[in-house]
Chain A
Amino acid sequence: MTLPRAIDRREVLKLGGAASIALLAPAGMAPVAAVPRGTASSTIVLADHRYAESAIFAASLERQGARIIELASDRARTWFDAVEPLLPLGLRCLAGLTLESDLFVLERLAAQSGARKCYVGMHDWRCREGPAHRLSATIDLDPIATALVNGKGRWAESLGEGLGQTEMESRAERRLALNCPMPAARGPRFFVSWLMRWTA
């Protein structure tokens, strides 16, 4: 598979619009959520409906074929009752835009069945210095970064679109910091987006 050339942060910041996303995810690559509807989805996205950002992100991935599961207040129940039973049915990726503690719990529960985190984005727009988005991944980060830069007020939706377009081939870990203006919002104003996958 031919991979797109790596782009640096400056290039990401210069790119704009859907055309650039398409450029970074050419035909032939396997996007995260491209699965036939009506079958057991290979990608589950967890939604915390307390927070609009989480629900918007999940809906964005759902539009690309992922299945949404609502995060129960007991995260272990979400894992054991809703997610883990889907592993024998072909579940390969688990994603979410959640609070960080949820990633902490789910990462440890999923690790027992061989899942590994391949993308994490910290999104922070409380009153503080520094970039709003800190991303790290062992998959292609460019579509995600581009989507965030272009997303503006609809960053959670764009983030879902970007993650859905990401090519999944493993590569060396890459980190990126982006400072994009974020919308005024209520709530925590701190979320983590993440993707785990089962490769075996």
Chain B
Amino acid sequence: MPLPPGFSSPNFDSACKELRRVVGDDHLVISGDRLAGYLDPYSPGVADAYAPSGAVLPASVDEVRGVLGVANNYRLPLWTVSLGRNYAYGGAAPCLKGSMVLDLSRMRAIEVNSELAYALVEPGVTYLDLYKFIRDKSYPLWIDCTDPGWGSVLGNTLEHGIGYTPYGDHAGHQCGMEVVLADGEIVRTGLGAMSGNPAWPLYKYAFGPTLDGLFMQSNFGVVTKIGIWLMPEPETFSVTEMMFRREEDIVPMIDALRVLRLDGIIPTATIANWMRIAAGNTTRAEWYDGKGPLPQSAIDRLTKAMGIGYWGMRFGLYGREKILAEQRKAVEAAFSRIEGMELGVATYRSGEAIPPEHATLAGIPSVDLMPLNWLGGAGAHIECPLVVPMRGAEFLDLYRRRTQLFNAEGFDHYCGLTSTSPRSFINTGSIIFDRNDAEQCARARALGRTLIDDAHKRKLSGYRAHISEMDFVAAQFDFNDNAAMRLYERLKDALDPAGVLSPGKQGIWPKDLRQAKNEKAGKP
């Protein structure tokens, strides 16, 4: 494994010796299978360029502070991860080769307040852990989980992750945060800035600026605890699933959904194209064995055989049965205008078993990576999900363009739309490839870059990106000569003058590395 930039072996050994004093011998990893586990498993052929030098696993806030002390003394770059399962975006691997992964997975405390419906979690708590904790205590609360649900609650929230219940905007339902700054100072945000204030996890805003957002998708501190709001278990949970036959049906679908999202009848909703539905249940070879994207004849055969439409949409409705009945009427009235629409409803009363196919809509975490088997081999995916306005005609144009781009690189277009806000979608466009196939990896990388570039021409951007594309995406935020990035850099220099925290995260580099990078690129 590589050394951190500028380190000699003796220097690195000396830093490691000090880190061992902080966390213990077993919790510093600098070789073997355990270290290999910090490489990006979904890397499209560039994992070595993002290899860490090691990983350090503190178990407490005090140990985090100790690690930061060593890092500052040695100017050792750290790359903070909660669990490192952010796989499509780099997993645990750092932007800067040779960084030491600061792995917080040993910090696993959970506290739940069932009366006020919130939880306080540390970075190592997974959605599976939180779900089990609540179930074991029989609290009448639901969580919202991402899919797959084996990731960190805190990590996903900080990355602006999403789920599928009305609490699907994870950052939006975060309240209260504890952060260790680069110099070791511990800060609590919002009302947590007052010792013992019981409203810390209840109300986002306090006296003074709101700081929480600064520590999301950033490298200004190490977040060691967050509060998240939990959803009271509804009296009734109803799943609506709809199918639409034609590609162009997406226009009236989105326009109808927007109205129902804005007036609050439908909470978070998800739309999937034929490939996302097919890949969730089958593999490509079951439909077509030739090279290149599936021909239309195979898509037609697939949709007919599976009994699916070109598009599927689904969402949950949650609450009192009488209210849900009225909501369902509004839903049917809005979508039945689209010719050929098929609608199915499943309803569960409180306490009834919810089958696996509806689990994520009920905040029940599960792990199934079936879509990654689409092309066979060792399936992986990368993506840069766009934020797109909820307007039907505009999206159809974008969809058709992206289909062309996927197909031009020989891939089928995997498309999903999730609306955790009523005015926009997160548009996932997973590039699924065989990570053991160098030629596919090269095409996946090329397509990833093309999709980001093409979206920028429409003034659209991703809200997350693979570590290899973070600089590229960050550079697109160009208003007033990249003023936002210049502000981030000023904050970075003030809060982390030694530049030890996650260099390069979201394109934010510390001063020394920024100057080197700019000189290399010929920038002032």
Q: Which A residues lie at the B interface, using CB under 8 A?
A: 72-77, 80, 99-102, 104-105, 108-109, 111, 116, 122, 124, 126-127, 186-190
**B378 at interface, CB cutoff 8 A:** yes
Within 8 A of A (CB), among B138-189: 148-150
> How far, in angstroms, from A190 to B284 measured CA to CA in the complex?
11
Which residue of A has the minimal Cβ distance to B380?
A104
Partner of B369, one of A101, A124, A126, A190: A101
Which residue of A has the minimal Cβ distance to B87?
A104
Partner of A76, one of B150, B289, B372: B150
Which residue of B has the minimal Cβ distance to A188?
B283
Partner of A188, one of B286, B290, B366, B378: B286
**B368 at interface, CB cutoff 8 A:** yes
Are A100 and B368 also in contact (CB < 8 A) when A74-B356, A76-B149 are? Answer: no
Pick the 3 closest A-B CB pairs, nearest first.
A74-B366, A190-B376, A101-B369
Q: Which residues of A contact B372 (CB under 8 A)?
A: 100-101, 104
B376 touches A124 (CB 8 A): yes
**B264 at interface, CB cutoff 8 A:** no
Are A76 and B376 also in contact (CB < 8 A) when A126-B285, A187-B286 are? Answer: no
The proximity string for B residues 125-148 relative to A, scoring 1 for CB distances below 8 Å and 0 otherwise, is: 000100000000000000000001
> How far, in angstroms, from A75 to B128 measured CA to CA in the complex?
12
Enumerate 24 A-B pairs (CB-CB under 8 Å) in ascending A order.
A72-B356, A73-B356, A73-B368, A74-B359, A74-B367, A75-B368, A76-B128, A76-B148, A76-B365, A99-B373, A100-B377, A100-B379, A101-B368, A101-B373, A101-B379, A102-B369, A104-B41, A104-B372, A105-B369, A116-B33, A124-B376, A188-B286, A189-B285, A190-B377
B286 touches A74 (CB 8 A): no
**B37 at interface, CB cutoff 8 A:** yes
A188 touches B359 (CB 8 A): no
Q: Please count the residue pairs between chain A and chain B whose beta carbons lie under 8 angstroms apart in the complex.
A: 78
With A100-B377, A188-B285 known, 20 other A-B pairs at CB within 8 A are: A73-B357, A76-B366, A76-B367, A77-B366, A99-B283, A99-B373, A101-B370, A101-B373, A102-B369, A104-B379, A105-B369, A108-B150, A111-B37, A116-B33, A124-B376, A187-B283, A188-B286, A189-B376, A190-B376, A190-B377
Which residue of B has the minimal Cβ distance to A117?
B33
B376 touches A126 (CB 8 A): yes
Instruction: Kindly provide the distance from the CB of B277 to the nearest chain A CB, expressed in whole angstroms.
Output: 15
> How far, in angstroms, from A4 to B357 measured CA to CA in the complex?
49
Q: Which residues of A contact B379 (CB under 8 A)?
A: 100-101, 104
Q: Which residues of A contact B373 (CB under 8 A)?
A: 99-101, 188, 190
Are A190 and B283 also in contact (CB < 8 A) when A76-B149, A116-B33 are? Answer: yes
Q: Which residues of A contact B41 (CB under 8 A)?
A: 104
User: B-side binding surface: helix, strand, loop or mixed?
Assistant: loop
Q: Which residues of A contact B289 (CB under 8 A)?
A: 126-127
Q: Which residues of A contact B369 (CB under 8 A)?
A: 75, 101-102, 104-105
Which residue of A has the minimal Cβ distance to B85?
A108
B368 touches A190 (CB 8 A): no
Q: Which residues of A contact B283 (CB under 8 A)?
A: 99, 187-188, 190
Instruction: Kindly provide the distance from the CB of B247 to the nearest chain A CB, expressed in whole angstroms.
Output: 27
Which residue of B has the minimal Cβ distance to A189?
B285
Which residue of B has the minimal Cβ distance to A120?
B378
Within 8 A of A (CB), among B32-47: 33, 37, 41
Q: Which residues of B contact A187 (CB under 8 A)?
A: 283, 286
Q: Which residues of B contact A72 (CB under 8 A)?
A: 356
Instruction: Kindly provide the distance from the CB of B106 to the nearest chain A CB, expressed in whole angstroms.
Output: 11
Could you say which of B149, B357, B369 has the most chain A C-beta atoms within 10 Å of its C-beta? B369
Q: Which residues of B contact A108 (CB under 8 A)?
A: 37, 150
> How far, in angstroms, from A124 to B289 measured CA to CA in the complex?
12
Which residue of B has the minimal Cβ distance to A73?
B356
Q: Which residues of B contact A122 (CB under 8 A)?
A: 377
